[in-house]
């Protein structure tokens, strides 16, 4: 019998494969059950597999013997064809496993959804400080066109950042060397930007290369913390759900010196399992006088329109524990108070909510940090969630014991969620940060809510000062 870690990893890979095409057939389930018997995978293994990301599962498989890896690959190929065809998503996962079997310098990196993922149907070239001799084929116009056609046959678009920057420069050149039309496009994307901001954004894109794209856009703006030591291809794989939280999966392949042969081999692998199908990749080539606001260009414009990397902190005042309320002035000059603000340096924006609403929002944050989200439809956890809500309510409000809402009742929760979303969306922060959406509760599944803000950006202010949420007595008391 295989070890528990291996059994869980096998089931994670196979279950992600079955779900990747959004169609689950009984034949596929039968094939999965047969494989489970072969590897001794138990019901507990199945349950535990949903707690591990796909990247961790692939890493476990990569350390197994050739016999085990080949057995898993064969099972994947068999299950994928149970419904009569192998779709592109399934072929991507099988090709990934095949690369792992052959000890190729490839790995899968999984991470929680944050902000907006940039690579969805594109094969992206990135590098840190090290380059390779073979990159010259990407830099040449004829070589790049040939590589783009090869990748296009796999239903992908080749993304090489210097060529994207060149397109922005040539677009301006074709319009008399002026940025006026580009500025009009960006102004539509980012209405809050002034003329100087627009000029800076255009200059940044036009001067971008693969290295500063990796440092500035991927790692800092998008917080896609993929660490590379050599030039790397990045390709988005089908997404996963880990313990109720959405995860993005990225296939990372070390770039070889002979780029043409490498890409041709990858596309051949990908297409060899697919049924006859049509590929349409609209990359806008041949229409350089038009500016297509879609695909990679749309994602790049959206993220670059954020003028700086947003590091806003959420502060919640524990009024019930002695913290002073935040004071601010409203439109007519009158002073008002609130329990929650979003802050960056000297900029502080109030989020006017009542104690019950702040307690509800803080419960969502705590559950997101501790458990990946909160499922209000789980009857087994309902009483515990209510107890935690009451403890939080008593910390943020001095009306302890007075008319505390029952979060087990949907009619009590629904208006609180609406007020939270309304207050955040109408806050002044929306004029300063394009990432205010990370503070909004999002639904990962029916009844499962999640707040994506990072724990280190949430502070609870009490009479003894301000502390990151995980260092506070309240959080430690709730999640012993």
Output the DSSP codes for 82-102: TTS---HHHHHHHHHHHHHHT
Burial (CB count within 10 angstroms: exposed 0-12, middle 13-18, buried 19+), residue 132: middle
Eight-class DSSP state of 269? H
- Within 10 angstroms of residue 171's Cβ, the number of other Cβ atoms is 19
Which stretches in the chain have pLDDT values below 50?
1, 277-282, 284, 286-289, 307-309, 434
- SS3 for 177? coil
Q: What stretches of 180-281 show up as alpha helix (H) in DSSP?
A: 180-189, 195-206, 210-212, 259-272
Residues 234, 69: Cα–Cα separation, whole Å = 23
- Render the burial of 206-225: b for 16+ CB within 10 Å, e for the rest: bebebbebbebbbbebbebe
- Render the burial of 286-321: b for 16+ CB within 10 Å, e for the rest: eeeeebeeebbbebbbbbbbbbeebebbbbbbbbbb
Residue with tokens 């609209």: 282
Closest CA to 294 of 120, 94, 133, 134: 120
Closest CA to 392 of 441, 320, 341, 469: 320
The per-residue pLDDT for 99 is 93
- Architecture of the structural domain at 4-103: Orthogonal Bundle (1.10)
92: left (phi over 0), alpha (psi -120 to 50) or beta: alpha
pLDDT in tens, 171-229: 766 655 566 777 787 777 777 777 777 777 777 787 777 877 887 788 767 777 787 87
Closest CA to 274 of 158, 154, 156: 154
Residues 363, 391: Cα–Cα separation, whole Å = 10
Closest CA to 202 of 263, 291, 318, 267: 291
Inter-CA distances, 183 with 162, 202, 288, 301, Å: 20, 8, 16, 11
What is the phi/psi pair of residue 12, to 5°?
-60, -45
Question: What kind and span of H or E run contains 326?
Answer: strand 326-329
465: left (phi over 0), alpha (psi -120 to 50) or beta: left
The per-residue pLDDT for 279 is 47
The per-residue pLDDT for 280 is 46
Cβ proximity of 341 and 351 under 8 Å: yes
Query: What residue ranges of the chain are covered by domains with CATH 1.10.3680.10?
Result: 4-103
Closest CA to 203 of 181, 183, 220: 183
Closest CA to 392 of 315, 480, 460: 460
Whether this prediction's pTM lies above 0.75 is answered by no
CB within 8 Å of 28: residues ≥ 6 apart: 18, 79, 82, 83
132: left (phi over 0), alpha (psi -120 to 50) or beta: beta
CB within 8 Å of 158: residues ≥ 6 apart: 122, 123, 125, 144, 147, 148, 151, 152, 263
């Amino acid at each position: 019998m295989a070890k528990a870690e291996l059994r869980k990893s096998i089931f994670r890979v196979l279950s992600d494969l079955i779900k990747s095409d959004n169609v689950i057939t009984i034949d596929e389930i039968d094939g999965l059950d047969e494989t489970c018997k072969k590897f001794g995978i138990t019901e507990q293994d199945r349950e535990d597999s949903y707690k591990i990301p796909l990247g961790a599962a692939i890493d476990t498989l990569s350390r197994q013997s050739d016999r085990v890896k080949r057995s898993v690959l064969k099972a994947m190929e068999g299950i994928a064809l149970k419904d009569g065809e192998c779709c592109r998503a399934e072929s991507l996962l099988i090709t990934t496993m095949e690369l792992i079997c052959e000890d190729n310098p490839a790995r899968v990196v999984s991470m929680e959804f944050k902000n907006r993922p940039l690579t969805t149907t594109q094969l992206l070239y990135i590098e840190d400080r090290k380059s390779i001799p073979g990159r010259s084929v990407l830099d040449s116009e004829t070589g790049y066109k040939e590589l783009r056609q090869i990748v296009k046959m796999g239903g992908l678009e080749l993304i090489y950042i210097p060529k994207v920057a060149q397109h922005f420069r040539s677009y301006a050149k074709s319009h008399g060397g002026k940025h006026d039309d580009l500025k009009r496009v960006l102004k539509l994307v980012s209405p809050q930007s002034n003329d100087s901001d627009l000029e800076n954004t255009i200059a940044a894109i036009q001067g971008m290369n693969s290295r500063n794209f990796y440092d500035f856009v991927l790692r800092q703006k998008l917080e896609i913390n993929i660490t590379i030591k050599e030039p790397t291809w990045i390709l988005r794989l089908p997404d996963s759900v880990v313990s109720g939280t959405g995860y993005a999966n990225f296939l990372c392949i070390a770039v070889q010196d002979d780029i043409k042969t490498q890409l041709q081999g990858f596309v051949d692998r990908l297409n060899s399992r697919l049924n006859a199908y049509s590929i349409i990749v609209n990359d806008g080539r041949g229409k350089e006088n038009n500016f297509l606001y879609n695909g990679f260009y749309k994602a790049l414009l959206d993220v670059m329109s954020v003028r700086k990397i947003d590091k806003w902190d959420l502060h919640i005042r524990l009024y019930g524990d002695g913290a002073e309320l935040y004071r601010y002035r409203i439109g007519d000059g009158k002073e008002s108070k609130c329990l929650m603000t979003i802050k960056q340096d000297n900029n502080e924006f109030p989020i006017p909510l009542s104690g019950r609403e702040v307690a509800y929002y803080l419960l969502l944050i705590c559950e997101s940090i501790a458990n990946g989200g909160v499922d209000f439809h789980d009857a087994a956890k309902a009483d515990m969630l209510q107890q935690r809500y009451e403890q939080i309510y008593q910390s943020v409000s001095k009306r302890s014991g007075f008319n505390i809402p029952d979060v087990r009742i949907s009619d009590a929760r629904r208006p609180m969620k609406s007020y939270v979303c309304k207050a955040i969306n109408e806050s002044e922060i929306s004029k300063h940060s394009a990432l205010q959406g990370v503070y909004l509760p999002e639904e990962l599944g029916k009844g499962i809510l999640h707040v994506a803000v990072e724990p280190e950006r949430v502070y609870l202010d009490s009479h003894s000062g301000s502390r990151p949420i995980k260092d506070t007595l309240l959080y430690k008391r709730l999640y012993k």
